[in-house]
Chains A and B, each alone.
Chain A
Amino acid sequence: MKIRSDIVRMYRDIHSWVGIVCGLALFIAFYAGAITMFEAPLKRWASPPMHVTEHTPLERTPELVEKVLMEYPKAALNYDITLAPDLERPARMSWNSGPRGSGTTYYAELAQDGSLLVHSEGPSAVGQLVDDLHRQIGILVDHDIAMPIMGIISFLYFIALVSGVIVLLPTLVKDLFILRIGKNLKRMWLDFHNALGLFSLPFHIIMALTAVVFAFHDQFYDAQGALLAKNDRIAMEEHAELHRNQVPLNPQQIVARLKEQSPDFEPVYINYHYEEDHGVEMRVAGSNPRYGMRGATFGFAGVDAYTGDLTMTGYMPGEQDGWFATVTSFFALHFGNFGGNPVRWAYFLLGLAGAVLFYTGNLLWIETHRKKRRKGYEYLDVQQTRASKILGALTVGISLGCIAGISSTIAAAKVLPQWTDAVGAWHTGIYYAVFFLFSAWAFIRGAARGAVELLCASAIATLLIPLVSLFSAFLPGFGWNHGGSSYLIDIVAVIGAGSLALLARKTLQRIHRAPEYSIWYVGTDESAQSAGATEPETDAVNVASSPT
């Protein structure tokens, strides 16, 4: 395909500047996002054994609810009944003391003798931390500040995707299936970057566009509501009729009524929500293996608490009309919650590949930056600039800091509960301590030396994950192992640590062979400037700027 060379050149500039602005934030979002694909096994791996293992029988739930509401009347506003308690939802009844889940979550069971057992030991906070890092691109400030930043980054990311494709189009047929591994390392990285970007393009377009909406949906709704809304509409939300003096159905009856109406829907928990003007509102969260879901792991059905009739099926997997199924597909495509484990693994790998895409993009920027400065001054030996050195250190420090920070805070999950009550704060603290330590180290040591040392450190941090599991198995009173799919975390961590160690080895070889002008060169600055050697890779100069 022919595109005017000035257009290609312009979009190459746009691609590199936009890419450099959002690349590192996207690295964090993609790396953490890849890990959230295994949030369920991770939560199981990281959560302490359940406080109470004997759960209240489902048929005694009304008694449990009655006793909780006597002691905690505020819980009546909003509480959940979990149908099959597990490590993620560790009790029959749970509620949160603050508005919109901002307070402490309490868990309640009935003891054998009918007395009430209430505790607040929920699943490990580390799963939520990884999810927050993913959603707020590693900036754990107030949600209202982080989300617009994330939205702008996602918007730039979409522009980077379009401009990247435009730059690639003229040489698409020639370049697509080629990976030129050879002396010209920039060419190889560019081929790799192109192939990775193009083959995962649909995934990236989905992520960019959905992330923009996740960040800005309030603003979009407000703008449309203010400028486009037709005023003669009435609110469509359906509410169950008011059933005064009637008793809501018990959970077993609700489950039975759902089974009648939607046999494939697998309910997980029932949410009771009290509204002043229309009594108890009920939402049942669950999944249907044949359909994608609106939430990350659940869809929702609105149910009449008194009759068990479905009142709202717009977010209920398997019972949606075409319009709602379309809306749900946008969410499902982002969350990868369709198609079961194969899709989860595919999203995991695509997420990691995305992180690699941004990493290689930054390296290409550094190299192109040097070559552009060299144009017209070929007789001079152009060294890396300060900007390139800073970007190199940032790329190495932030990427590896994110990897090692997440690994160490996950590994800490099996240790922290024995030492402290503020587990959540410690998880966040450990992540940031490692993250900033790594970033600082990369600046002090430079990109090249820093990369080798930090890759080794990342490998060790990741190896801590299976090590704490191993200690838990042999040291009495230390940690726990739940078995089953939670071993997946240990296995993936071993593979990850191995890959990082391998990369460390390769980088070590590279920095000792790298030419002087390279960002990976480890010689001192003085000797590099005085050497004045001619550049060995002269043929590489025009590669990036000639589209044909």
Chain B
Amino acid sequence: MSAKLPKAQQLSSANWFGKASAGVIAGFMLTLAICGLLAHFGPLDVGYFSAQSQISMWLMSPVWGLIMSFCFLFRNGVHAWAWLGSGNAVLWGLLLGSQYLVGQGG
């Protein structure tokens, strides 16, 4: 697609694939982690068909959509993957760590 565009504009939207793939894959995992944290520490729930777990499921759409929309603000695909990836590491670490600790305590 970028071949037809003048050079000045290629700089900004030309490297879309790396950013978009980060938004789709890492963004999806990040969204899951956010929903998981809200279920674990917040009022929501996951896993069975209560209103709270339905809201967790609904939350996927706006959170993922926003990550996907703004992932293009990263300088390039590598940056996008690095930032969203480390975001994943932190949130999933928090989630799995707290589950492990709570599991130990309980």
Contacts and interface: CB of A to CB of B under 8 A. Distances in A.
A330 B36 CA distance: 21
B90 interface: no
B32 A6 contact: no
A224 B36 CA distance: 8
A521 interface: no
B78 to A, nearest CB: 17
A376 to B, nearest CB: 7
Q: Which 8 A-B pairs have the closest CB atoms?
A: A229-B47, A323-B51, A10-B12, A13-B13, A162-B69, A228-B36, A212-B61, A158-B65
B49 A237 contact: yes
B26 interface: no
Interface in B19-73: 28, 32, 35-36, 39, 46-58, 60-62, 64-66, 68-70, 72-73
A220 B57 contact: yes
Contacts of A212: 61, 65
B39 A228 contact: yes
Contacts of B72: 10-11, 14
Given A159-B68, A225-B46, A372-B5, A10 B13 contact: yes
Q: Output the residue of A155, A224, A373 with the most chain B CB within 10 A.
A: A224
A145 to B, nearest CB: 20
A375 B10 CA distance: 14
A163 interface: yes
B48 A224 contact: no
A217 interface: yes
10 contacts: A6-B11, A7-B73, A159-B69, A223-B32, A224-B60, A229-B47, A230-B46, A234-B48, A372-B9, A375-B6
Contact of B35 (A163, A224, A237): A224
A230 B65 CA distance: 26
B36 to A, nearest CB: 4
Contact of B60 (A9, A163, A220, A314): A220
B16 interface: yes
A323 B60 contact: no
B35 A159 contact: no
Q: Output the residue of A162, A213, A220, A221 with the most chain B CB within 10 A.
A: A220
Contacts of B62: 209
Q: Is the interface of B mostly helix, strand, loop or mixed?
A: helix
B51 A217 contact: no
Given A9-B13, A220-B57, 5 more contacts: A10-B12, A155-B64, A159-B65, A224-B35, A327-B54
B68 A155 contact: yes
Interface of A: 6-7, 9-11, 13-14, 17, 155, 158-159, 162-163, 208-210, 212-213, 216-217, 220-221, 223-225, 227-230, 233-237, 314, 321, 323-324, 326-327, 330, 372-373, 375-376
A373 B4 contact: yes
A216 B61 CA distance: 9
B101 interface: no
B66 A162 contact: yes
Contacts of B6: 372, 375-376
B11 A213 contact: no
Contact of B51 (A234, A237, A326): A326
Nearest to A322: B51
A234 B99 CA distance: 18
A224 B5 contact: no
B69 A236 contact: no
A424 to B, nearest CB: 32
A229 B53 CA distance: 10
A197 B52 CA distance: 32
Contact of A217 (B28, B57, B70): B57
Nearest to A161: B69
Contacts of A324: 51
Contacts of B52: 323
B24 to A, nearest CB: 9
Contact of B32 (A11, A216, A227): A227
A326 B12 CA distance: 40
Nearest to A369: B4
Contacts of A7: 12, 73
Q: Output the residue of A227, A233, A376 with the most chain B CB within 10 A.
A: A227
Contacts of A11: 72
Nearest to B68: A159
Nearest to A154: B61
B57 A224 contact: yes
A373 B3 CA distance: 11
B101 to A, nearest CB: 14
A203 to B, nearest CB: 15
Contacts of A237: 49
A321 B46 contact: no
A230 B45 CA distance: 9
B51 A158 contact: no
A376 B8 CA distance: 12
Contacts of B53: 224
A233 B58 contact: no
Contacts of B13: 9-10, 13-14
Nearest to B10: A13
Contacts of A228: 32, 35-36, 39, 46-47, 95
A224 B56 contact: yes
